[in-house]
Amino acid sequence: MQPGSNRLFLLSFLLTMALAGECPAGAQNFTPKPLLVGYFGQWGLYSDPQYTLKDLAANNKAAMLDQLNYAQGFVTGGRCSIADPNADLNHVFLASNSVDGQSDDPSSPFRGHLHQLAELKRAYPRLKILISLEGHAADFAFDAQPENRQAFIASCVDLFLKGNLAPAVRAPGLFDGIDLDWEYPRGGDAANFLALLTELRHQMDLVRPGLKLSVAVGPSPRMYEGTDFAAVAAQVDEVGVMTYDLAGPWMQTTGFIAPLYSVPRPMEPAEPTDQVASRTATLISAPIGPNPAASTSPAATVAGHTGSVASSAPASGPPPAGGAAGSARAFLAAGVPASKLLIGVPFYGYGWTQVPDVANGVFQEGTPVRGDRPYSYIQTLIPHARVYRDPVSQTPWLFDGDAFWTFDDPVSVQAKAAYVLDHHLGGLMIWELSQDSPEATLLTAAHRVLTQAPLAASVRQDRPGAPDVPVGR
């Protein structure tokens, strides 16, 4: 054989056996690295401070992502359309906020965020970019009807995948797939929901095999009456579970936005699977300087100004139900393969004021703060308040004796990433990137844990009796 032919023969042999389903044992256990998927909102253009794709590219933050879901393409009138022509195509980016450091040509019809996405793709060719289709539930239901379905999908494929963005603008290949965010199909929509995804997959494959199709779903399959999630999963590459907004300003009582595991209410009987002998909150941060409002509650044990608890799961027995882990188990039981399941992570939080200084503010009545606040804002509150952590779910909360905030922080994000690794899930899904700190604190925390995933499942085994979510990685 000529030099190099042995290697060529081996590659051919492995490929042939893979296609025949006869790979060697080590190759059969190959597991891809979990994905880190983040949403980028076009509305960042109007924020103060402004958030652009240049911010994502700064300091190589974009390199931490495997996939960017651009929000949003709009679904209305039986068609897909550009949701914000100004942000997407018309805005002229200057050198100071352009991905490539060059100003847009004002005379070019291809400007705005979509042109910046093309620049980002050029700078990070490994990054997959999907268009996230969003709209009213009634519009999705109308478009999914048999008489409307094919034409609706054809319009989405033509606009975003074939790249016919405007009469004078063509950008084929800009998007690597479609993310469908129908919130939510009702019971009578179940068959049309599956048929919509099936037709979407069919038309996407005609354009280019390998295009990615993802679907964002609520935190429980029970929200989708009559839906066959095994059949749904067969059509899509990813099922992104929105495991957040489990509590928020629509409630008059404080709670947790996105715990990994459920947090029992005070005086509530322990769950059958919760065998924690002591569920004592840990104080992980206290105000700098004198703190007249410092808690004297025995429910708080001081662990220093910074740090984390030693374990994120019960010392023995399975973890409690509920939370993101409960959502993951429910979708697995409904037929979604672990490798396609993404756990959602919020980069924002919710707050309440006028909360009584009882039980460190947990599950107390209060006045909801309207809307959400980014993690970057909540960070500014930490030096002036007490921050606690539940030792099982790893979820943090902030309480200053009056205001209560629920959010994710680097420790809770790392715990979720560790859960993804230990349960061989598809990855994490972030909503949304602009809400992180300027230093990308949360994104970095997720990336550091997920990139410890081995290339082969045979290298990593679930350890009998090990905590469900090990920390301190």
Verify that 415 and 313 share a domain, yes or no.
no
Would residue 123 count as lying in a domain? yes
Among 365, 390, 406, which residue terminates a domain? 406
Number of domains in the chain: 2
Verify that 109 and 210 share a domain, yes or no.
yes
Average pLDDT of 6-14?
37
Verify that 303 and 367 share a domain, yes or no.
yes
Verify that 128 and 191 share a domain, yes or no.
yes
Would residue 335 count as lying in a domain? yes
**What's the domain range around 371?**
281-317+351-406
Residue 383 has pLDDT above 60, yes or no: yes
Verify that 89 and 111 share a domain, yes or no.
yes
Instruction: Give residue 282's pLDDT.
Output: 72
- The predicted-structure confidence for 102-143, as pLDDT tens digits, reads as follows 999 999 999 999 999 999 999 999 999 999 999 999 999 999
Verify that 372 and 308 share a domain, yes or no.
yes
253: nearest Cα among 364, 173, 403, 144: 364
Would residue 67 count as lying in a domain? yes
Verify that 308 and 388 share a domain, yes or no.
yes
- The predicted-structure confidence for 238-265, as pLDDT tens digits, reads as follows 999 999 999 999 999 999 999 999 988 7
441: nearest Cα among 415, 418, 470, 409: 409
Query: For residue 178, what are its two tokens?
Result: 């479609």
Instruction: Give residue 32's pLDDT.
Output: 77
Rounded Cα gap, residues 308 and 323, in angstroms = 20
Neighbours of 271 (CB within 10 A): 15
Instruction: Give residue 278's pLDDT.
Output: 41
Verify that 399 and 444 share a domain, yes or no.
no
- The predicted-structure confidence for 344-373, as pLDDT tens digits, reads as follows 999 999 999 999 999 999 999 999 999 999
Verify that 185 and 294 share a domain, yes or no.
no
- Range in 12-21, 204-213, 287-296, 459-468 the model is least confident about: 459-468
Would residue 370 count as lying in a domain? yes
Would residue 275 count as lying in a domain? no
Band of pLDDT at residue 321, cut at 50, 70 and 90: low
Helix, strand, coil share of the chain (percent; to 5)? 35, 20, 45
Instruction: Give residue 267's pLDDT.
Output: 52
Verify that 380 and 426 share a domain, yes or no.
no
- The predicted-structure confidence for 166-214, as pLDDT tens digits, reads as follows 999 999 999 999 999 999 999 899 999 999 999 999 999 999 999 999 9
Would residue 264 count as lying in a domain? no
Q: Are 258 and 408 in contact (CB under 8 A)?
A: yes
Question: Residue written as tokens 């107390």?
Answer: 364
Among 388, 406, 424, which residue terminates a domain? 406
Among 406, 426, 442, which residue terminates a domain? 406
423: nearest Cα among 331, 303, 305, 296: 331
Would residue 267 count as lying in a domain? no
Q: Which residue has the higher pLDDT, 189 or 270?
A: 189
Verify that 303 and 358 share a domain, yes or no.
yes
Rounded Cα gap, residues 382 and 128, in angstroms = 35
Secondary structure of residue 238 in the 3-state scheme: strand
Q: Which residue has the higher pLDDT, 211 or 315?
A: 211
Residue 450 has pLDDT above 90, yes or no: yes
Question: Residue written as tokens 């059969």?
Answer: 28
Instruction: Give, to the nearest 10 degrees, the angle between helix 410-422 and helix 441-450.
Output: 20
84: domain CATH number?
Answer: 3.20.20.80
Residue 445 has pLDDT above 50, yes or no: yes
- Range in 15-24, 149-158, 301-310 the model is least confident about: 301-310
Would residue 61 count as lying in a domain? yes
177: nearest Cα among 219, 238, 118: 238
Instruction: Give residue 243's pLDDT.
Output: 98
Verify that 209 and 294 share a domain, yes or no.
no
